[in-house]
Amino acid sequence: MDGTDLLQGTAALVPHLTVITTGLVILVLDLFLTSRSRYMNEVVGLIGLVLAFALALGQAGDPRLLFSEMAIADNLAVFFHALFVLIAILTLLMSASYIRRENIVAGEYYALVLFATSGFMFVASAADLVTLFIAIETLSISTYILAGLHQDEQRSQEAAFKYFILGAFSSAILLYGIATVYGAQGHTSLVKLAEALGENDIPTMLIVGMGLIIVGLGFKVAVVPFHMWVPDVYDGAPTAITAFMSAGPKAAAFAAFLRVFFQGFASPALAQNWIPIFVVLAALTMILGNVVAITQESIKRMLAYSSIAHAGYAFVALVTLDQLGAASVLYYLVAYALMSLGAFGVLTTVAKRGERHYTFGDYAGLSSTNPLLAALMALFMFALAGFPPTSGFAGKFYIFSAAVQKGHYVLALIGVLTSVISVVYYARVVMMMYMREPDLSSSGPYVSATTGTLLGVTAAGTLFLGVFPGSVLRLAEYSVNLLFAS
């Protein structure tokens, strides 16, 4: 790799480097801030993320392989980079008042969110399985620490420990899978893998490696049966981090699935081995996530199982192996990020110090104590259930349409039926807010300016994507088309 290639590659990674640099600046800045000036952490973080967002959009263009084909810059990466940075911005808005209330160290918190975001971005830019593994470990280590950053809560420490143990186990499986693919093909480049396979016979060792990679990435997406860590980790982690984990790592894992299976393992001879596996995983995930969510008494744990179910919906689109399916995944990830972050934003507002008030009963009469907050929560619940005219309805419509066009009628039917089941537990929240008397002994929730901004942005985005879904879907189709064209 000559100097010109190095310069071009570095220029393509400027958005990633901006996010990392902002995290480092926050770590240093925090050493000199007083308790009254801690807000500068959020200000610096938001400025850096907005700059990274603008720089990421500037990277759009023809696909370019970088650093000896270890990374790629294309419109698919740009789409994901913009999504990841948006998730980080919304997380910082949600966290501003939350970390003060919960006594969480601000500098480390914001820096780790940014470092995890840079890991997401490197996943989307990976053109080699080794690069992909390093990027996944970068985001994983950051989220392990974030899950346990609430030092006053034992549940947070337990969540971090469980997440770390199971995450290390899944990383080992993913690494074994990559090593097996290398043993079968002699390289780990996704581009070369797609070119080498063609219509040739598929080595058994390659199929084994592919299966191990499915297990490793399945843990990050939290599809059944690799979901066992989600309820306890989501319940124990700081709520703002739970929101971040429900959107960021999930979207990054789907970016990895698209890179690996829609590019590297897209050969028809190999696809006939992994598509049936994806069908089973999608069906089991939708069924278990929705059925078990009904039995939960904590809204936080209910949203954890809801996250599992929504991973199943997005997984349905992966079985299509076509442009509409891939574009539907991208659209759904944007829609889910807005719905999920909005719902968790309401949770952080209603909860009191010490992570209390997460049961359904705690939301009784919220429409009387704070009508606007109740209306926003109802919007997010209806959106997650898939009611029109929200982004949740449009996302499921596109995903199930893609499945039907490819002949996966049973899978689409399971998706529709499980969506009907989900109405039970989402409507329970709405019923509590509007049909039960409030607890007059406690004061109504206080909504800070930053949290209000988060709720406004997510609510507006949820409605806009539902009424005008074509704007984001066209961008998604264009991004995926360039990936396939490359």
Which pLDDT tens digit goes with each residue over 153-180?
A: 788 888 888 899 998 999 999 999 999 9
Q: What is the H or E stretch that residue 179 is in?
A: helix 154-185
Give the model confidence (pLDDT) of 35-74 as tens digits. 777 778 888 999 999 999 999 988 877 778 877 778 888 8
Segments of 50-104 assigned E as strands: 64-66, 71-73
Residue 64 has what DSSP assignment? E
**What tens digit of pLDDT does each residue of 79-92 get?**
999 999 999 999 99
Question: Is the pLDDT score of 444 beyond 80?
Answer: no
Which region among 35-39, 105-109, 464-468, 469-473 has the lowest average model confidence (pLDDT)? 35-39
C-beta of residue 167 within 8 angstroms of C-beta of residue 144: yes
Give the pLDDT score at 471. 87
Dihedral angle over CA of 42, 43, 49, 55, nearest 10: -170
Q: Is 155 exposed, middle or buried (0-12, 13-18, 19+ CB in 10 A)?
A: middle
The span from the CA of 115 to the CA of 120, in Å, is 9
| Higher local confidence (pLDDT), 22 or 268 | 22
* Tens digit of each residue's pLDDT (9 = 90 or more) over 365-383: 888 888 899 999 999 999 9
Task: Tell me the pLDDT of the chain averaged across its residues.
Answer: 88
Q: Which position has the higher pLDDT, 483 or 457?
A: 457
User: How large is the average pLDDT for residues 286-310?
Assistant: 92
Q: Which residue has the higher pLDDT, 10 or 331?
A: 331
Three-state DSSP class for residue 189 = strand
* Cβ proximity of 137 and 171 under 8 Å: yes
Q: Residue 442: pLDDT above 70?
A: no
Query: In this predicted structure, which of 58-72, 213-227, 411-425, 434-448 has the lowest mean pLDDT?
Result: 434-448
In percent, the amount of the chain with pLDDT more than 90 equals 55
For the stretch 175-233, pLDDT in tens is 999 999 999 888 888 888 877 776 567 788 989 999 999 999 999 998 989 888 888 88
DSSP SS3 for 442: coil
Query: Which residue is associated with the tokens 């809801």?
Result: 306
- The per-residue pLDDT for 485 is 57
- Domain containing 168 equals 3-485
Between CA 132 and CA 137 the distance in angstroms is 9
pTM of the model: 0.93
Average pLDDT over residues 395-419: 94
On the question of pLDDT at 447 being above 90, the answer is no
Neighbours of 4 (CB within 10 A): 8
Which pair of structure tokens corresponds to residue 262?
């829609």
> Quick one: pLDDT band at residue 105, thresholds 50, 70, 90?
confident
Model confidence pLDDT, tens digit, residues 339-365: 999 999 998 888 765 555 577 777 888
| Structural domains counted in the chain | 1
Can you give the pLDDT at residue 191? 82
| Mean predicted confidence (pLDDT) in 256-270 | 87
Query: Which of the pair, 430 or 152, is modelled with greater confidence?
Result: 430
The 10s digit of each residue's pLDDT in 117-156 is: 999 999 999 989 999 999 999 999 999 999 888 777 788 8
Between 68 and 301, whose confidence is greater? 301
Residue 394, judged by CB atoms within 10 A of its CB (0-12, 13-18, 19+), counts as buried
Which pLDDT value is given to residue 353?
A: 54
